Amino acid sequence: MTTGNLIQPGAEAAQFYGTSSAGAPANLGDILERVLDKGLVIAGDIQVNLLDIELLTIKLRLIVASLETAREVGINWWENDPWLSADAGRRADERELRAENRKLRGRISELESGGRNGSRR
């Protein structure tokens, strides 16, 4: 159903209250992004370690083609989401290392100059 430029696909959206399950089956993509990406995570003793690996690949497969579009709009939060980007963890580590490096360099020069200052005192 299209009213002007509002798209209301299927009965689920067209009938607004409560009875969504009685309507047309919801779009698979909409369901998957909710039941896989969202929802409460309480580690079951069986799915432990599974989410990191398998769901990641599925999620990437689902969204990979739309990443460019999203980046254009400036919505790129998942690039730093370890769930979605295997690189994100690595990049975070690098950032941390760089920051630590900077801090250490600063500390060294501070100590060096501090040492000189100290000897003058």
Q: List interacting residues with another protein (CB under 8 A).
A: 3-9, 12-13, 16-21, 25-51, 53-55, 57-58, 62-67, 69-70, 72-75, 77-78, 84
Compute the least distance from the CB of residue 61 to another protein, in Å. Answer: 9
52 or 110, CB closer to another protein? 52
Nearest to residue 56, comparing CAs of 32, 80, 37? 37
d(CA 59, CA 47) in angstroms, rounded, equals: 17
Minimum Å gap between C-beta 106 and another protein is: 35
8 or 109: whose CB is closer to another protein? 8
- For residues 66 and 119, which CB has a smaller minimum distance to another protein in the complex? 66
Cβ–Cβ under 8 Å, residues 23 and 12: yes
Could you tell me the smallest distance in angstroms from the CB atom of residue 88 to another protein? 14
C-beta atoms surrounding 85 within 10 Å = 18
Buried b (16+ CB within 10 A) or exposed e, 102-121: eeeeeeeeeeeeeeeeeeee
